A and B are shown apart, each in its own frame.
Chain A
Amino acid sequence: MPGKALFQKTFTIKKDDFANAGEASVQIKNILKDVGFDSSVIRRVAVASYEAEMNVVMYGGGGNVRLAVNPDNVMLVVEDKGPGIPDVDQAMQEGFSTATDEMREMGFGAGMGLPNIKRNSDDLKIITSPDSGTRLEICIRSSVSGTEEN
């Protein structure tokens, strides 16, 4: 991540906290609105963030989401303390899921999370291991002036 972020903030995500899951993403959306991003950029960031946040709550054993607003992109770095993703290619397939009934009752866990994050990112890096959990680096390109992304 070269250069200095114009704004950054870290949100803590608690394990199994279904009641508040998604709150960080709503706050991120509000921050980007205040900064003046285009609505389509805000929506892509919010969707990617929300899916990532749900993954941290459901599978990740808690963790955090770090938002960085840079001159030409918005970065989300999502880290969890979970068991890692054994097969990333499989997890990227729509419909593949290891969700429990409780997760499905929340309207999630149908194997759409990572595909949705990828769909809304310009660049997605997944670093995962059983020892250190999972780290997602999500980059969505845009400028702070609020111009439409390409």
Chain B
Amino acid sequence: MKLEKIKELLQAEELTSGIDLNLEIASARASDLMSDVLSSSHAGDLLLTGLVNAQAVRTANVVDMKVIIFVRDKAPAADTIQLAEQWNIHLLATKKSMLEACGLLWAALY
């Protein structure tokens, strides 16, 4: 699924500049626990999380995730956004809860 479609489904706003909405997202993971993301042999392309500190972005970098969507209307600090831009990790934010965001993506995929 294209990131553009995910953005539309979740009514998400872009937090980083230069987001490639044509990016193909094949799999996603939802967690507020970064060790959980790190424990997976394939973390996926997209992380849904309520964790808005720099560790979410560093975790995405370590496991090569391309996109983070922050749920529950949360937004990271400016330095976290800057870090993501430096590593070309796209950040978006949605007002939807984790459950709702996951449900919408699941329904669209299957």
A residues apposed to B, CB below 8 Å: 18-19, 21-23, 25-26, 29, 39, 43, 46-47, 50-51, 105-108, 110, 112-113, 115-116, 119
Contacts and interface: CB of A to CB of B under 8 A. Distances in A.
Interface of B: 32-36, 38-39, 49, 51, 53-56, 58-59, 61-64
B64 A25 contact: no
18 contacts: A18-B53, A19-B54, A21-B55, A22-B54, A22-B55, A29-B62, A50-B38, A50-B58, A50-B62, A51-B38, A105-B53, A106-B51, A107-B51, A108-B35, A112-B35, A112-B36, A115-B39, A116-B35
| Main DSSP-derived SS at the B contact region | helix
| Main DSSP-derived SS at the A contact region | helix
A116 B33 contact: no
Contacts of A43: 62-64
